[in-house]
């Protein structure tokens, strides 16, 4: 059973399009996160939700909007995609201040 | 200057070698220290988790934290080709403003040659 799952695995799209990435966890965790990993493997937090409430919002363009319909899901919607958005996006989950478990990643390529 | 510095490598060692991976950091508020392993085209998976200073051992892996020097290490004994991966250090502080906010190093790519 997959603990943290993401869809899609791969996403290739044109500049200017709008796309969404979905994340689900079945670990019963209260907190979920979105991270971005660039081409140099540098992993940086973007957002964090605790019980559907936004608690961390790093300096991310407002084209990125997370949505948490319930504790087990955290989706990421990206408007007007740019070339620089190409990266691997990871979802993670945890109990508050405990270790984070990562999903397999979504590889986004903007052409 | 980044909050967490980690040499990206690559680091290449022969099978059976002892591997030493390190990170330095600048924020004295960090209290939780982790090492994640990331295989190619996979998500990071937690290897070791340490609170504050000291050593922690788990099988072939030993994590060390020296808060006075702001320096953490991961040692891998009897390294195996299956240990070939990128190793990311991560850390976080206490308090609501830091809840869950992990700061990662860039990751060190390790190759263990048979």
pLDDT in tens, B42-100: 999 999 988 888 899 999 999 999 999 999 999 999 999 999 999 999 998 765 444 56
Structure tokens at B84: 């070939």
Q: Could you identify the residue written with the tokens 């996979």?
A: B42
* Cβ density class A48-57: b for 16+ within 10 Å, e for less: bbbeeeebbe
Euclidean distance between CA atoms B70 and B1, whole angstroms: 15
pLDDT in tens, A51-93: 888 888 887 889 999 999 999 999 999 999 999 999 999 999 9
Question: How many inter-chain contacts (A to B, CB under 8 Å) are there?
Answer: 62
Q: Which of B44, B46, B100 is opposite residue A97, by nearest beta carbon?
A: B100
Tally the residues of chain A. Answer: 111
Q: How many beta carbons lie within 10 A of that of residue A10, not counting itself?
A: 9
Rg of chain A (C-alpha set): 13
On chain B, the residues whose CB falls within 8 A of the CB of A94 are 100
């Amino acid at each position: 059973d997959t603990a943290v799952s993401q869809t899609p695995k791969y996403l290739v799209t044109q500049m200017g399009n709008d796309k969404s990435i979905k994340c689900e966890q079945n670990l019963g965790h209260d907190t979920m996160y979105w991270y971005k990993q660039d081409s140099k493997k540098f992993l940086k937090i973007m957002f964090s939700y605790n019980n559907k409430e936004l608690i961390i919002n790093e300096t991310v363009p407002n084209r990125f909007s997370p949505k948490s319909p319930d504790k087990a899901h955290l989706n990421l919607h990206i408007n007007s995609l740019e070339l620089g958005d190409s990266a691997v996006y990871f979802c993670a989950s945890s109990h508050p201040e405990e270790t984070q478990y990562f999903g397999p990643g979504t590889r986004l390529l903007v052409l | 200057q980044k909050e967490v510095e980690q040499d990206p490598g690559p680091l290449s060692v022969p099978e059976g070698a002892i591997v030493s991976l390190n990170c330095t950091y600048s924020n004295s508020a960090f209290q939780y220290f982790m090492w994640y392993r990331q295989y190619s085209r996979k998500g990071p998976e937690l290897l070791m988790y340490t609170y504050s200073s000291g050593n922690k051992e788990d099988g072939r892996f030993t994590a060390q934290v020296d808060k006075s020097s702001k320096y953490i290490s991961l040692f891998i004994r009897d390294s195996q080709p299956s240990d070939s991966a990128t190793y990311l250090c991560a850390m976080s502080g206490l308090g609501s403003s830091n809840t869950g906010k992990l700061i990662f190093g860039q990751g060190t790519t390790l190759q263990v040659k048979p």
